[in-house]
């Protein structure tokens, strides 16, 4: 089983974990803004997230979907294929809100839109604006997504 969680900088589990840097563009920073720890079969990987531009950090979440690590932080979704470590980044039009993950889908809600990922982390589609201050998933039934768009 593969587990993933946000970790504090002083977490002793990070000391022997192989470090992988995630950033939208090179920052040169030495201290990560946030760190994710992945553990699988006694092996540990740490993903250090570096943010260059000021962003809204309303919500954060990390999931393992199939063999894909998916991290929502700031206004970016980071996707890492754990076998190859191939990484894809998706910039959202607003802040990251939440994930809705099922066997056949990985959906991401931002403050105003929905993004659907493929199994390799690529973007399958992105909605138009469906909310102005948050999108809340209600459920997924086949190809129908229900939920609410906040407009306040």
Measure the CA–CA gap between 39 and 33, rounded to whole angstroms: 20
pLDDT in tens, 29-59: 788 999 999 998 889 999 999 987 767 677 9
- 136 pLDDT more than 80: no
In this prediction, residue 148 carries a pLDDT of: 64
pTM, rounded to two decimals: 0.87
Name the helix (H) or strand (E) containing 1: none
| Site of tokens 């993950």 | 101
Checking 52-60 for CB contacts under 8 A at 24+ apart, the result is 52/23, 52/24, 52/25, 52/27, 55/95, 56/94, 56/95, 56/111, 57/95, 58/95, 58/96, 58/97, 58/111, 59/95, 59/96, 59/97, 59/98, 60/6, 60/34, 60/96
Tokens 């407009």 locate to 151
Better pLDDT: 65 or 114: 65
What is the per-residue pLDDT for 45? 94
- Strand pairing partners for 47? 20, 36
Q: Are 76 and 116 in contact (CB under 8 A)?
A: no
Range 88-98 average pLDDT: 91
In degrees and rounded to multiples of 5, residue 25 shows phi and psi of -150, 155
- How many CA atoms does the CB half-sphere of 31 hold within 13 Å? 4
Q: pLDDT > 70: what percent of the chain?
A: 91
């Amino acid at each position: 089983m593969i587990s993933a969680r946000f970790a504090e900088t002083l977490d002793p589990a990070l000391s022997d974990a192989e470090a992988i840097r995630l950033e939208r563009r090179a920052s040169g920073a030495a201290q990560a803004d946030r760190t994710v720890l992945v553990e699988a079969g006694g092996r540990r990987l740490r993903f250090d997230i570096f943010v260059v531009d000021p962003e809204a950090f309303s919500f954060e979440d990390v999931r393992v979907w199939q063999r894909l690590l998916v991290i929502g932080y700031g206004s970016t979704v980071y996707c890492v294929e754990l076998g190859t470590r191939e990484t894809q980044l998706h910039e959202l039009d607003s802040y990251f809100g939440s994930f809705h993950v099922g066997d056949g889908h990985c959906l991401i809600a931002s403050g105003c839109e929905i993004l659907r990922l493929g199994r390799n982390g690529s973007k399958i589609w992105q909605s138009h604006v469906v909310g102005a201050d948050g999108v809340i998933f209600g459920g997924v039934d086949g190809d129908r997504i229900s939920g609410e768009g906040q407009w306040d």
